[in-house]
Amino acid sequence: MTFNKIIVSLILLMVCSAIYAQDIIVTNESKRIDAKIIEVSKSEIRYKESDNLEGPTFVLETQDIHTIIYANGKVKLYNQDAPKEQSFPDQIPAQEAPVAMQSNIQKDLSLAHVENASGVYIFTDCVPVAAYEVLGNVFFNQRGEHSTMILPTYNSYGMSVIDIEETHQYTEIRNGLIAQAIMANRQVEGVLITIQAEGKGQATLIKFKNSTDDKSLARVNSHLGVYVFTDCLPVNGYSFVGKINGAGGLNSDYNNLRDKLIKKAKNRFPSVQGIIPHFVTGGKDTAEAITF
C-alpha cells in the first residue's frame, strides 16, 4: 500500500469514526436526540444536534431526560429514583378487560400489557403475543466491583463496555440493557430480558412484523403455580388480596427475590393466582397478591 493510500484510508477511518461519535439523549417522552453534548450541570444539559454542529445550542432540563448514552459508551440514567411508598386498600375492585376483548381472552389468565420505557417494550418473565423478528442481543456481566455491558459485534458502534453503578439490582440491569439496546440498533421496539444469577443478564432485541398488532400484549410466565407480572399488568379482571413485603438490597438477585415473594404470597394467601412485583433499588421489594 502506497503512502497516499494509507493517508486516504486514515482519513476515511476518521470520517467514519466521526459519524458514530455522537451522544444519544432519550427523553421521558421516548424521544431520541442524536447530539453532541457541550455542557452538563445538575439541572440542565446543553447540546448541539449531531448533524448540525455549527448550528444553535439547545438546552434540556435534566428532569425531562430518561437516559444519555455518550459516544464513548458510558450510560447515564436520570429520574430512576425508587418509587414512593404506596398504600394499598384492603380490597381493590376487579379490573375489567374491554368487553370486545373478553370473549377471546378471558380464559387466558397469563395475558398482560407490558410497560414501555424510552420507546421500548419490556418483556421480563413473559413473551410477546405479536409476531416479531430478532435483531440481536446485548449482554450484562459483572466484573469485579462494577457491572459491565458488552455489545456484540453486529452493532455498528463496534465492541463496547460501559460501567453501571449497581451490581445485582433488577432495575439497574433492566435500565442498562434498555439503554444498550437503543444504542445498538435504532430499529429496536422491544427487549426480551433474561436475568441470571450473580447479576448477569441478557436482552434479545426485537422488531415487530406487523405495525397493526398490539405490541404491548404478552403472556407472562408461571412460577410455582403463580403468574408473575413483572413490569406489566394483567389484561383480565383481577382483585387485590394483599401486599407482600420482601427483602431487597444492592446484591439482591431477581430470580431469588421473585421466588421469595411468590412463596410468601402462597403462605399468606392460599388462593393467590398472580403477583405484581415492585422492585425498589436499594430498598425493600414488594408485591401485590391477586386473584382473577
Q: Which of 157, 183, 208 finishes a domain?
A: 208
56-112 tens-digit pLDDT: 999 999 888 877 877 766 667 776 543 333 333 333 343 444 444 444 445 799 999
135-145 tens-digit pLDDT: 988 876 644 33
More confident residue, 198 or 131: 131
> What is the reported pLDDT for 215?
93
Residue 105, in any domain of the structure: no
Strands 120-124 and 190-195: parallel
pLDDT confidence tier of residue 168, bands split at 50, 70 and 90: low
* C-alpha pair distances (Å), 14 with each of 54, 85, 190: 19, 51, 33
259 shares a domain with 177: no
> What is the reported pLDDT for 277?
92
Residue 44, in any domain of the structure: yes
191 shares a domain with 135: yes
Mean of per-residue pLDDT scores for the chain? 74
Whole domain around residue 132: which residue ranges? Answer: 117-208
143 shares a domain with 68: no
Q: Which of 147, 178, 208 finishes a domain?
A: 208
Residue 91, in any domain of the structure: no
Residue 100, in any domain of the structure: no
Residue 88, in any domain of the structure: no
Comparing C-alpha atoms, which of 149, 166, 165 is closest to residue 157? 149
Average pLDDT for residues 245-272, to the nearest whole number?
81
> What is the reported pLDDT for 84?
35
248 shares a domain with 175: no
> What is the reported pLDDT for 241?
93
Q: What is the pTM of this model?
A: 0.63
Comparing C-alpha atoms, which of 161, 133, 135 is closest to residue 147? 161
Residue 68, in any domain of the structure: yes
Q: HSE of 247 in the Cβ direction (CA atoms, 13 Å)?
A: 6
Angle of helix 170-184 versus helix 254-268 axis, rounded to 10:
130
**pLDDT tops 70 at residue 6:** no
157 shares a domain with 193: yes
Average pLDDT for residues 223-233, to the nearest whole number?
94
Q: Which residues contact 20 (CB under 8 A, 6 or more apart)?
A: 71, 156, 157
* H or E segment to which residue 218 belongs: strand 217-220
Q: Which of 51, 77, 103 finishes a domain?
A: 77
pLDDT confidence tier of residue 189, bands split at 50, 70 and 90: very high
**Long-range pairs for 134-137 at CB < 8 Å and ≥24 separation?**
134/204, 134/205, 134/206, 135/185, 135/187, 135/188, 135/205, 135/206, 135/207, 136/184, 136/185, 136/204, 136/205, 137/202, 137/203, 137/204, 137/205
Q: How is residue 119 written as a grid cell?
A: 420507546
Cβ contact 121:177 at 8 Å:
no
262-273 tens-digit pLDDT: 999 999 999 999
231 shares a domain with 200: no
Q: How is residue 209 written as a grid cell?
A: 412484523
Count of domains for the chain? 3
234 shares a domain with 171: no
Residue 188, in any domain of the structure: yes
228 shares a domain with 168: no
- What is the secondary structure of 144-174 as a DSSP string? TTEEEEE--TTSTT-S-EEEES-SS-HHHHH
Average pLDDT for residues 185-205, to the nearest whole number?
84
> What is the reported pLDDT for 94?
39
Residue 159, in any domain of the structure: yes
Task: Assign residue 70 the CATH number of its domain.
Answer: 2.30.30.100
233 shares a domain with 201: no
**Angle, vertex CA 21, rays to CA 17 and CA 27, nearest 5:** 155
**pLDDT tops 70 at residue 279:** yes
200 shares a domain with 122: yes
Average pLDDT for residues 250-276, to the nearest whole number?
87
Question: Of the ranges 32-46, 80-94, 277-291, which is most confident?
Answer: 32-46
